[in-house]
């Protein structure tokens, strides 16, 4: 697969395969270290057994400060101890090879096929993404890209394990109709609403469509829960399953919660069909809101405990009430005009850069203009400082920076976010 420039060199893939084993999901300093140093140097540092040089600590520390980590969280020495606990479990070349024969592989941010919607997670972007499809005639690396959820035409349909007949019907029917309209349905492969959503999406899509995406909390070699094994095989027949955990990893509570951020980030919108007052599905909704994605919630009886979490979202968050697939499509369309506006997943070409000054910010929405105005003219800043200056919550900041970046009005560097043109050290954010 490294015979085409669309795929990153195999050495980087192998390094990230190992790193996905060493660094737990949501370990922000881990992913920041990998993106600041590069995958191979980061892995070498972990393997070396020596402490970080002052230069390396400074480089990673700056990136971590920009991402809002505390001074304590920015320290590499204790983090290296943490990452070295599984040092014996590296060497994933053989795992990559054997998984490839079973329809699996590893996507990494350096690949052209990397789902660019994951960039919105910022420092919480996964180190790599393991995938698996049903083994067939073609190579999984040829098969996978066509099955990725489209950044603007994908919806996460999630909910509680304890569902009612009502929730089962709504999840199935909504997913079925979404799939029939060519929308990828992303869910977590769990019992209850997740399973109903996967089933509905497989029912609704025709042969040409890529209906189903399941994101697992454990390795893609473990089809968990066991009772959904057949369903997950059906997902792999026509869709794809993902995990940021290396094969062999067990699903833990921490990994379930971290997994939810991937579901939220892979989909253009998240819909909660049924959720109890305290439900993991609410965490998926909050992850989606944190990165500025629209969230829908299905109403139900005020007497149903399985709808209490949905009503909670509708009362206390910007979540929109949705009653059917048409309502969900409105959410997606609204979002497509915003965060995911670039056509076909390709950012605007460099030459499309607008001139700076008053005219460059003409036509910006209120929030984007407010955040642009809050950016320092000759230096960089952090999203949390921007949030304070602009007086807007963090989720707005990320969404707006992404839009402004696409318009070439702002740039992100290791020092943070700044206005394009004035920035001391521009560097690609990819």
From 108, 314, 339, 375, residue interacting with a second copy (rule: CB under 8 A) = 314
Cα end-to-end distance, the chain, whole Å: 21
From 177, 187, 260, 320, residue interacting with a second copy (rule: CB under 8 A) = 320
Q: Smaller CB distance to a second copy: residue 315 or 346?
A: 315
Compute CA 67 distance to the chain's CA centroid, rounded to the nearest angstrom.
17
DSSP state for residue 365 in the 8-state scheme: -
Applying CB under 8 A, does 311 fall inside the site for a second copy?
yes
Which residue, among 368, 335, 291, has the nearest Cα to 125 in the 3D structure?
291
DSSP state for residue 151 in the 8-state scheme: S
Q: Smaller CB distance to a second copy: residue 162 or 173?
A: 173
Compute CA 90 distance to the chain's CA centroid, rounded to the nearest angstrom.
24
Residues 100-119 that bind a second copy (CB under 8 A): none
Q: Which residues pair with 321 in a beta bridge?
A: 297
Applying CB under 8 A, does 286 fall inside the site for a second copy?
no
Per-residue binding string, a second copy, 378-407, x by CB under 8 A, is ------------------------------
Q: Smaller CB distance to a second copy: residue 284 or 320?
A: 320
Neighbouring CB atoms inside 10 A of 413's CB total 18
Applying CB under 8 A, does 166 fall inside the site for a second copy?
yes
Compute CA 86 distance to the chain's CA centroid, rounded to the nearest angstrom.
25
Q: Smaller CB distance to a second copy: residue 138 or 323?
A: 323
Q: Smaller CB distance to a second copy: residue 321 or 425?
A: 321
In whole angstroms, the minimum distance from the beta carbon of 194 to a second copy comes to 19
Inter-residue contact 271 to 156 (CB < 8 Å): yes
Q: Smaller CB distance to a second copy: residue 164 or 243?
A: 164
Integer-rounded Cα radius of gyration of the chain: 21
Query: Residue 221: phi, psi to the nearest 5?
Result: -85, -15
Using CB under 8 A as the binding criterion, the count of chain residues that bind a second copy stands at: 20
Query: Residue 295: phi, psi to the nearest 5?
Result: -125, 135
Applying CB under 8 A, does 301 fall inside the site for a second copy?
yes
Applying CB under 8 A, does 340 fall inside the site for a second copy?
no
In whole angstroms, the minimum distance from the beta carbon of 208 to a second copy comes to 29
DSSP state for residue 304 in the 8-state scheme: -
In whole angstroms, the minimum distance from the beta carbon of 180 to a second copy comes to 18
Question: Rounded to whole angstroms, how far apart are CA atoms 192 and 378?
Answer: 52
Binding interface with a second copy (CB under 8 A): 166, 169-170, 298-303, 307-308, 311, 314-315, 320-324, 327
């Amino acid at each position: 697969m490294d015979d085409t420039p669309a795929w990153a060199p195999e050495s980087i893939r192998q390094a990230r395969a190992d790193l996905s084993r060493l660094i737990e999901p949501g370990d922000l300093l881990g992913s920041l270290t990998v993106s600041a140093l590069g995958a191979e140097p980061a892995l070498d540092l972990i393997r070396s057994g020596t402490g970080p040089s002052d230069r390396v600590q400074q480089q990673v520390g700056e990136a971590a400060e920009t991402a809002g980590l505390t001074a304590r969280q920015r320290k590499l020495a204790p983090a290296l101890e943490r990452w070295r606990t599984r040092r014996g479990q590296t060497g994933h070349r053989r795992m990559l090879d054997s998984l490839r024969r079973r329809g699996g592989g590893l996507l990494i941010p350096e690949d052209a096929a990397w789902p660019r919607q994951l960039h919105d997670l910022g420092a919480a972007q996964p180190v790599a993404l393991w995938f698996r499809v049903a083994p067939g005639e073609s190579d999984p690396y040829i098969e996978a890209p066509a099955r990725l959820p489209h950044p603007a035409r994908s919806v996460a349909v999630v909910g509680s394990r304890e569902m009612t007949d009502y929730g089962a019907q709504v999840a199935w029917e909504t997913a079925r109709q979404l799939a029939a309209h060519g929308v990828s349905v992303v869910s977590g492969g769990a019992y209850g609403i997740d399973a109903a959503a996967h089933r509905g999406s497989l029912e609704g899509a025709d042969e040409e469509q890529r209906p189903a995406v399941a994101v697992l909390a454990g390795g893609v070699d473990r089809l968990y829960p066991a009772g959904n094994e057949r369903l997950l095989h059906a997902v792999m027949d026509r869709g794809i399953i993902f995990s940021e955990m290396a094969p062999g990893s067990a699903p833990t509570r921490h990994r379930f919660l971290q997994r939810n951020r991937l579901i939220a980030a892979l989909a253009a919108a998240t819909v909660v069909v049924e959720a109890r007052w305290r439900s993991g599905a609410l965490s998926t909704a909050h992850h989606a809101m944190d990165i500025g994605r629209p969230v829908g919630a299905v109403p139900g009886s005020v007497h149903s405990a399985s709808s209490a979490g949905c009503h909670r979202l509708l009362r206390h968050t910007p979540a929109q009430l949705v009653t059917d697939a048409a309502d969900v499509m409105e959410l997606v369309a609204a979002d497509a005009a915003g965060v995911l506006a670039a056509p076909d997943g390709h950012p605007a070409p460099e030459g499309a850069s607008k001139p700076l000054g008053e005219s460059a910010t003409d036509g910006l929405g209120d929030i984007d203009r407010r955040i642009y105005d809050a950016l320092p003219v000759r230096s960089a800043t952090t999203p949390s400082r921007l949030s304070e200056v602009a007086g807007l919550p963090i989720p707005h900041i990320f969404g707006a920076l992404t839009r402004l970046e696409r318009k070439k009005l702002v740039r992100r560097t290791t020092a943070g976010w700044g206005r394009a043109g004035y920035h001391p050290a521009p560097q690609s954010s990819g």
